[in-house]
Amino acid sequence: MTIKFQYNKTALQSLNKQLNIRLKALPTLKNKEAALRLEVKKAKDKTSDLEKKLKLKISSNNESLGLWNEYIPKLLTISTVKTAAKKIAGVSVPVMQEILFHEEEFSLFDKPKWFPKGIEFLKELAIIVTEKEIFNRKMALLDFARRKTTQKVNLYEKVQIPDYEDAIRKIKRFLEDEENLSKSAQKIVKKRQQKQKELVA
């Protein structure tokens, strides 16, 4: 990034203001980045835990796998997944509140006696899978925000702040040189005037 500026006091004030804005924002951005990094890790760990929980739940039902051939898929469907929005480090993420299921009625006399337990088992699986998906979404949103924040931190720290400091240094040098030249010119004019006065006298 090359900053366009003029060699005057107004430009110097403007650049100082821009530099101060970035210097004040940098610690906040770094804190936000650290908070987001931590939250991404928490969401990743929770997703991993839910994945393990899901595998454990499925493997606990291995011996009755053959029974599922009798099951009718339309008996249980998810009608609504209620979520709420929660802000974490300024990022809005979904939080699961509850899952509403729709159960088709069936006769306990006509259907296998394991159906009610099977339906409860499916509900538990659906809750785990849905929660895992929501945590995946949360992790993706937080990670995206973290990457954007990291980019901004790097932009401020490695590009903009050094560029503003460099531009300010150049203007200050220029203004100092200009002032020194002006003082030198004044001294020369004064000496000439004194010499002329001495010649006249």
CA distance 129 to 22: 43
CA distance 117 to 120: 5
Q: What is the model's pLDDT at position 109? A: 78
Low-confidence stretches of the chain (pLDDT beneath 70) = 1, 65, 201
Q: What is the model's pLDDT at position 1? A: 59
Please, are residues 119 and 70 in contact by the beta-carbon 8 Å criterion?
A: no
CA 114 to chain centre: 47
Whose tokens are 């011996």? That residue is 63
CA distance 112 to 106: 10
Q: What is the model's pLDDT at position 201? A: 61
CATH architecture, domain 9-191: Orthogonal Bundle (1.10)
CA 51 to chain centre: 25
Q: What is the model's pLDDT at position 164? A: 93
In the chain, where are the structural domains located? 9-191
